Amino acid sequence: MNTVISATTGYQRPGKAGQLLDQSAALQREAAAMLERGDNTVALEYAYRAALRVAGAWVSQTPIARRVRKPKGVWAQLELTGNAGQAWAQEFQRWSTLRARASMGLEVDIDAAKVRALMSLVGDFTQAIDGAAPMAA
């Protein structure tokens, strides 16, 4: 059966995954604005938080979300969702150290190219979840 979507109301994403993806989109816009202003550290933080939201959306669409005993970190949960989830988790865990160092003030000269690379990666991750539902392990 076909679903009719009104041109005036647009498509509404369902449930928690939709909320998380909407939050991620807002954070990605903020990251771009901060990068344009030259505040690379804040842009990095927003981009990383956007990635966390996308990961949460991915996990929320799998049986992992309903587990009682599951890892607390979203990257560890994402790894449990299958091969694609593992690959994305490993990719973003590499950024975790830089983000932590930047938030503690230990890394003050964040290169704009690094922030752009993270933002691009978040965009790819968002496209991956929008393109197909995550596979559950």
Query: What pLDDT score was predicted for residue 90?
Result: 95
> Which pLDDT score is estimated for 19?
94
Residue 74 in domain: yes
Quick: pLDDT tens for 109-137.
899 999 999 999 999 999 998 765 444 44
Q: How does 63-101 read in b/e, with b if 16+ C-beta sit within 10 Å?
A: ebbeeeeeeeebbebbbbbeeebeebbeebeebeebbee
C-alpha 131/C-alpha 129 separation (Å) is 5
Would you say residue 45 lies in a domain? yes
* Count: domains in the chain: 1
d(CA 100, CA 94): 11
Give the helix ranges, DSSP H, for 61-82.
74-79
Structural domain span for residue 44: 16-132
User: Residue 5: inside a domain, yes or no?
Assistant: no
CATH number for the domain spanning 95: value is: 1.20.120
Mean pLDDT for 92-103 is 94
**What's the rounded Cα separation, in Å, for the pair 45 and 49?**
6
Helix (H) or strand (E) holding 129: helix 112-131
Contact 78, 38 (CB under 8 A): no
Q: What are the tens digits of pLDDT across the range 23-60?
A: 999 999 999 999 999 999 999 999 999 999 999 999 99
Q: Is residue 104 part of a domain?
A: yes
In the block, residue with structure tokens 């009682």: 68
Among residues 124, 120, 104, the alpha carbon closest in space to that of 55 is found at 124
Identify the pLDDT of residue 31: 98
- Domain presence at residue 3: no
CA separation for the pair 40, 45 (Å, rounded): 9
